[in-house]
């Protein structure tokens, strides 16, 4: 069965620290990869997405993610986090040709000011 695994459920960082959130998926076909973010009290919104081409994709607010096909991974990174990055982050995978998007369990990030 397809699945998405996020390595950390809770992460606490100080402002200006670097961030890397791990995401691995199990599916052998062609996939579409997403990171969504949910800020406190707000709806889920797209942070970035990968479909094809350059495996390093850039999203909003300075976030980027790298798709490594051989490792079935799509890790999210940010060089220097801000207090306003406090949120829950979800990795998601959709396979081309299907309608279902599968989500990971989410990672709660808390950034200390």
Partner 1 sequence: DVKVTQSSRYLVKRTGEKVFLECVQDMDHENMFWYRQDPGLGLRLIYFSYDVKMKEKGDIPEGYSVSREKKERFSLILESASTNQTSMYLCASSLRQLLDSPLHFGNGTRLTVT
**Contact predicate 90/106, CB 8 Å:** yes
* Least distance to partner 1, CB of residue 104, Å: 5
From 4-12, 20-28, 56-64, 74-82, give the range in contact with partner 1 by CB under 8 A: 4-12
Alpha carbon dihedral 81, 55, 26, 7, in 10-degree steps, equals -20
**Least spacing, CB of residue 16 vs partner 1, in Å:** 29
CA-CA distance, 113 to 110, in Å (whole number)? 10
| Pattern 36-75, partner 1, x by CB under 8 A | x-----xxxxx--x-x------------------------
- Among residues 59, 86, 56, the alpha carbon closest in space to that of 74 is found at 56
Tokens of 5: 């695994």
CB of 15 to partner 1, least distance (A): 26
Positions touching partner 1 (CB under 8 A) are 4, 6, 9, 32, 34, 36, 42-46, 49, 51, 90, 92, 94, 96-106
């Amino acid at each position: 069965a397809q699945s998405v695994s996020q390595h950390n459920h809770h992460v606490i960082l100080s402002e200006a620290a670097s961030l890397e959130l791990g995401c691995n998926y199990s599916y052998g076909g062609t996939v579409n990869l997403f990171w969504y973010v949910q800020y406190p009290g707000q709806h889920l919104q797209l942070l970035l997405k990968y479909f094809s081409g350059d495996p390093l994709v850039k999203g909003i607010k300075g976030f980027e993610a790298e798709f490594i096909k051989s490792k079935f991974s799509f890790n999210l990174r940010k060089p220097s986090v801000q207090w306003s990055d406090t949120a829950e982050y979800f990795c998601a995978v959709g396979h081309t040709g299907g309608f279902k998007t599968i989500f990971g369990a989410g990672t709660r990030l808390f950034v200390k000011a």
